[in-house]
Amino acid sequence: MLNILEQIPAGFLDARAGDLQDLLGGPTLIHLAGEREQPLFVSVLLHGNETTGLLTVQRLLKRYLSGLPRSLSIFIGNTAAAVRNMRRLDGQPDYNRIWKGNGAPEYAMAQKVLDEMRRRKVFIAVDIHNNTGLNPHYSVVTCLQNPHLQLAAMFSRIALEVVRPDTTSTNAFSGLCPAVTLESGLPGKEHGTDHVLDFVDGCLHMSHVPDTPVHAHDLELYHAVAVVKVSRDCSIGFDDYSADISFPSDLDRLNFRELDRDVCIARIHPQSQACLTVTDEQGKDVSNDWFQKRDDHVCTVGPIMPAMLTRNVKIIHQDCLCYLMSRKLLPQQLPKKAMS
């Protein structure tokens, strides 16, 4: 189910995300030769409703019609979901959860992409995403070695280490090369595309990724310690008390904000069994460590910092409500005993 091309398809540079299924026929890996042989790998549309990556590579390719400074490999992911402007279609796996293990044909496709890039000695891997809620631009890493953190700091002062799930593209590529996910805010925002374009263009011109520690004042590192989900069979509303569970209408404004204990973030309908389920990195249910129910309200047990809160009900059901984070020291800030 993977198309592999060695040139830009006719019509690609001006195509909308929803046109790519007809134009390409499905997920496609495009290899383009440049002055430096080791390719930069860029993945876009792993989620069909996150379009900043596509807009970025289109603008990048128009900028270098006369020749690329470095070889470039572009993976265009879930074109079928892009037709309907959805993260994924019902019945599909999440295209950013297929990069380890096996199962549906999409897993074999992801392994083929990895094999292709391993054979070509990939230089850097960049996975471009959007958020469905209000978030600052930030990077996601799965490895805390210096080159990975250098890339993170190039994009934003905020970086999030995510260890689980371990089936993401960035996690898979981190074993091959410096790898980073770019979370570039809401789709369709020109400043988001501008920011990502500057980063990707910079990667094209790099001769190497520095292997020196990132200065502490250049990067705020967080670690995703838990994921919060809502019962799949319950209705979700925003300032809608007829729903099984209702959140504030401005819920996503809490992203990357430290919340005190006893902050109420949801209301449960009196006749509903809806709840928030919190799972830690080992898959253990730790809901009671983070939230407690008071009458019909769900309140924080202690201080928390959420990320990726969204008001998109479909995304909440397909993926999660949010991640919970803790601040983390950079490797060079740790006591020597902790590093051994």
pLDDT in tens, the chain (340 residues): 999 999 999 999 999 999 999 999 999 999 999 999 999 999 999 999 999 999 999 999 999 999 999 999 999 999 999 999 999 999 999 999 999 998 889 999 999 999 999 999 999 999 999 998 899 999 999 999 999 999 999 999 999 999 989 999 999 999 999 999 999 999 999 999 999 999 999 999 999 999 999 999 999 999 999 999 998 899 999 999 999 999 999 999 999 999 999 999 999 999 999 999 999 999 999 999 999 999 999 999 999 999 999 999 999 999 999 999 999 999 888 886 554 4
Task: Check residue 340 and give its pLDDT.
Answer: 41
Q: Which of 271, 283, 274, 265 is nearest to 322 (CA)?
A: 265
Distance CA 322, CA 300 (A): 14
Whether residues 55 and 23 fall in one domain? yes
Of 218, 238, 257, which residue constitutes the final position of a domain?
218
CA pair distance 205, 219, nearest whole angstrom: 22
According to DSSP, the β-strands at 158-161 and 220-230 are parallel
Residue 334 located in a structural domain: no
Instruction: Note whether 251 and 169 are same-domain residues.
Output: no
Is residue 19 in a domain?
yes
Asked if residue 32 belongs to a domain, the reply is yes
Last residue of a domain, one of 218, 239, 271: 218
Contacts of 95 (CB under 8 A, 6+ apart): 27, 45, 46, 47, 77, 78, 81, 88, 106
Q: What is the pTM of this model?
A: 0.92
In the chain, the number of structural domains is: 2
Domain with 265 in it: 225-324
CB 32 within 8 A of CB 63: no
Burial of 283 (0-12, 13-18, 19+ CB in 10 A): exposed
Residues paired with residue 230 on neighbouring β-strands, in sequence order:
276
Within this chain, do residues 58 and 183 fall inside the same structural domain, yes or no? yes
Domain boundary among 158, 192, 218: 218
Tokens 């902050």 correspond to: 263
Residue 82 shares a structural domain with residue 184: yes
Q: Give the model's pLDDT for residue 337.
A: 59
CATH number at 161 reads: 3.40.630.10
CA distance 21 to 17: 8
